[in-house]
Amino acid sequence: MGNGGLMQDDDTNKENEGYDTALQIIHHTARDWTCGAMTCRDETIGWIVRAIIEYSKSGGVHNHNGGNEDLLRVLVPGAGLGRLAYDISTCRDLIEKNNGVIPIVEANDSSVTMIFSAQNVLKMLQTHQQQQGQVEQVATIFPFLSDPQINRKRFEMETFPDEAAI
């Protein structure tokens, strides 16, 4: 198991190097859900969200539900920790500014570990929204702790989810 549930005969380093490792979860969490990676996210996720907004403005969205709202169905394969799916589903430019387009987003991933981790981050966000920000629902990680090459940042911590998500 590992890297999408498939293990090859010579895959002896699954626990150390695979997609399902704790180290990968930390790296994905740091990239997808912390303030420190906002620039990286804008370069990797932001352009996709902007392209979807442009697509919906150009008339690519059609009324499929028989009501007044237009539904925009989006599939996010290989969603990892789900930040792209979250950003699309909560995009105010689609929902409010674009005549009430409702994004229906389905995210999937081949890694049960990633799906479980994404579910927990989304539960944190949901709890925060249900309590209307009364309770601070954040966690702390040290994304560079395992990298001895980055000594100056090694013990810097990041909190997640970031303020843009909350």
Q: pLDDT tens, 97-128? A: 656 778 889 999 999 999 999 999 998 888 87
| Domain extent listing, the chain | 19-160
Q: pLDDT tens, 1-46? A: 444 545 555 555 555 567 888 888 998 999 999 988 999 999 999 9
CA distance 52 to 143: 30
Q: 103 pairs with which residues across the strands?
A: 72
* Nearest CA-CA partner of 121 in 32, 20, 8: 32
| pTM of the shown model | 0.79
